[in-house]
C-alpha cells in the first residue's frame, strides 16, 4: 500500500489524515496517510526516512519544501515560492502548491463570493500567504495589500508577485491609513503562539468578508474581531483545507474526490467540539 503523510510543526491538530482517509474510502483507493512532526532542522531527514510516495507540507515548512525540490516545481509553486504538495519523482521531489486554488474554490464555489474587483487585505507573508496571493490576483481582485510583522518578508512576497500596480507591501503601522477592505484574510499563525497585533475597526464595514486560514480555536480571535468590526460574512479555513487536500489527492491519484460530504462531516465535528467547550 502506498504511503502518504503531512509534515509540519505543530502537527498533532492536523485534520489532513482524516480528510485523505475519507477521500480514499470514497474513491476506493488503497493508501495510508499519517501526520509527521518535523521542524526546519529535521524535515529533509524525516521526509527521506518516511518512504512516502507523496506528502503535504504545512507550517513552517512550505518554503523549505520549495528549496528541497531544487527547481522542479509547478508554475504556481514557483510564483508562490512555497510548496504544499510533494510528488516523488525518481530519487527527488516535484513540488506544487494547491493552497491558492483551495482558497479560491472555497470562497467562490462554497461561499458564493465574487472576488472580481475586490480590495483585499492579506495579513501575513509566510508559506500560506505566498500560496494564496497569486491565486487571488488571478481570480481578478482589484488590489492586494500584504501586511507582515517582518516587513522584509512582505516586500519579498510582493516583489515575487510581479504586479506593482495591484500588489502592495505595508507594515502593521500603516493599517490605520488604509481604509476599508472588501475582503480581509488572516494568513498569520499568530493565534497559535502569540496574539495578532491590534487591528483598527475601520478596516472592515458591513460589506466586508473576513477569512481566517486557520480553523477551530485558532480562528476564533480574528473572526470575533471581524464580527465586532461589522463584517457581514466570516469564513474559517476548514473549506480551504478540504479543497487544497482534494487538489493534492488529484495530483497523486488522478481522481478528484467529492469534497462536500467530507467538508460537511468535518464542520459538524468542529461544531460539536465548540459546543463541548
DSSP 3-state of 156 = helix
Catalytically active residues, by annotation: 62
Cis check for the bond before 10: say yes or no (omega within 30 of 0): yes
Judged by CB under 6 A, the residue of 150, 159, 200, 260 near ligand NDP is 150
- Angle, alpha carbons 57-62-66 (nearest 5°): 110
> Cell digits for 117?
474587483
CB of 96 to ligand NDP, least distance (A): 14
Show contacts with ligand NDP in window 102-121 (CB under 6 A).
102
The total of other beta-carbon atoms located within 10 Å of residue 219's CB is 22
Choose the binding region for ligand NDP from 160-168, 212-220, 226-234, 261-269 (rule: CB under 6 A): 212-220
Q: Which among 26-34, 112-120, 237-245, 268-276 is the span making contact with ligand NDP, rule CB under 6 A?
A: 237-245
Dist. CA 267–CA 219, nearest whole Å: 14
* Angle, CA 57 vertex, CA 28 and CA 88 arms, to 5°: 65
When asked if residue 148 is in the footprint of ligand NDP (CB under 6 A), the reply is yes
Using CB under 6 A, pick the residue from 237, 249, 253, 259 that binds ligand NDP: 237
Interface size with ligand NDP, residues (CB under 6 A) = 32
The one among 22, 240, 246, 266 contacting ligand NDP by CB under 6 A: 240
Residue 183 bridge partners (DSSP):
120, 209
Nearer of residues 16 and 208 to ligand NDP, judged by Cβ:
16
Give the whole-angstrom CA distance, residue 251 versus residue 56. 11
DSSP label at 115? Answer: -
All cell numbers assigned to 77: 509553486
Site for ligand NDP in 7-36 (CB under 6 A): none
Residue number with CB closer to ligand NDP (53 or 190) = 190
Q: 153 near 172, Cβ under 8 Å?
A: no
Do residues 72 and 86 make contact, with C-beta atoms less than 8 angstroms apart?
no
Nearest to 130, CA basis, from 98, 107, 175? 98
Binding mask 58-77 for ligand NDP (x = CB under 6 A): xxx-x---------------
Q: Decide: 187 and 159 in contact? Cβ < 8 Å.
A: no
**Site mask, ligand NDP, residues 125-144, x = CB under 6 A?**
xxxxx---------------
| In the complex, least distance from residue 14 CB atom to ligand NDP, rounded to whole angstroms | 9
Does residue 244 bind ligand NDP (CB under 6 A)?
A: yes
CB closer to ligand NDP out of 169 and 231: 169
Site string for ligand NDP, 40-59 (x = CB under 6 A): ------------------xx
Q: How far is the CB of 62 from ligand NDP (least distance, A)?
A: 5
Does 153 bind ligand NDP (CB under 6 A)? Our answer is yes
Phi, psi at residue 235, to the nearest 5°?
Answer: -135, 135
Residues in Cβ contact with 2 at an 8 Å cutoff, skipping those fewer than 6 apart: 30, 31, 32, 53, 54
Q: Which residues bind ligand NDP (CB under 6 A)?
A: 58-60, 62, 99, 102, 124-129, 148-150, 153, 187-190, 192-194, 196-197, 213-214, 218, 237, 240-241, 244
Amino acid at each position: 500500500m502506498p504511503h502518504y503523510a503531512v509534515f509540519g510543526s505543530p502537527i498533532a491538530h492536523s485534520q489532513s489524515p482524516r480528510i485523505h482517509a475519507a477521500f480514499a474510502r470514497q474513491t476506493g483507493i488503497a493508501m495510508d496517510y499519517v501526520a509527521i512532526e518535523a521542524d526546519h532542522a529535521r524535515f529533509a531527514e524525516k521526509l527521506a526516512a518516511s518512504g512516502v510516495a507523496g506528502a503535504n507540507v504545512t507550517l513552517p515548512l512550505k518554503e523549505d519544501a520549495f528549496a528541497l525540490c531544487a527547481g522542479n516545481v509547478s508554475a504556481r509553486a514557483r510564483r508562490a515560492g512555497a510548496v504544499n504538495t510533494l510528488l516523488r519523482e525518481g530519487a527527488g521531489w516535484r513540488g506544487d502548491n494547491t493552497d491558492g486554488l483551495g482558497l479560491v474554490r472555497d470562497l467562490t464555489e462554497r461561499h458564493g463570493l465574487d472576488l472580481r474587483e475586490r480590495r483585499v487585505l492579506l495579513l501575513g507573508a509566510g508559506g500560506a500567504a505566498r500560496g494564496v496571493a497569486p491565486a487571488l490576483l488571478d481570480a481578478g481582485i482589484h488590489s492586494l495589500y500584504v501586511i507582515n510583522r517582518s516587513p522584509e518578508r512582505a516586500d519579498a512576497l510582493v516583489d515575487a508577485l510581479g504586479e506593482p500596480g495591484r500588489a502592495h507591501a505595508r507594515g502593521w503601522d500603516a493599517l490605520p491609513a488604509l481604509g476599508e477592505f472588501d475582503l480581509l484574510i488572516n494568513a498569520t499563525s499568530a493565534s497559535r503562539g502569540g496574539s495578532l497585533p491590534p487591528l483598527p475597526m475601520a478596516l472592515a464595514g458591513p460589506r466586508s468578508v473576513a477569512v481566517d486560514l486557520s480553523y477551530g480555536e485558532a480562528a476564533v480571535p480574528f473572526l470575533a474581531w471581524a464580527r465586532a468590526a461589522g463584517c457581514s460574512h466570516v469564513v474559517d479555513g476548514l473549506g480551504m483545507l478540504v479543497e487544497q487536500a482534494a487538489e493534492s489527492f488529484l495530483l497523486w491519484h488522478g481522481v478528484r474526490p467529492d469534497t462536500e460530504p467530507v467538508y460537511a462531516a468535518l464542520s459538524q465535528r468542529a461544531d460539536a467540539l465548540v459546543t463541548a467547550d
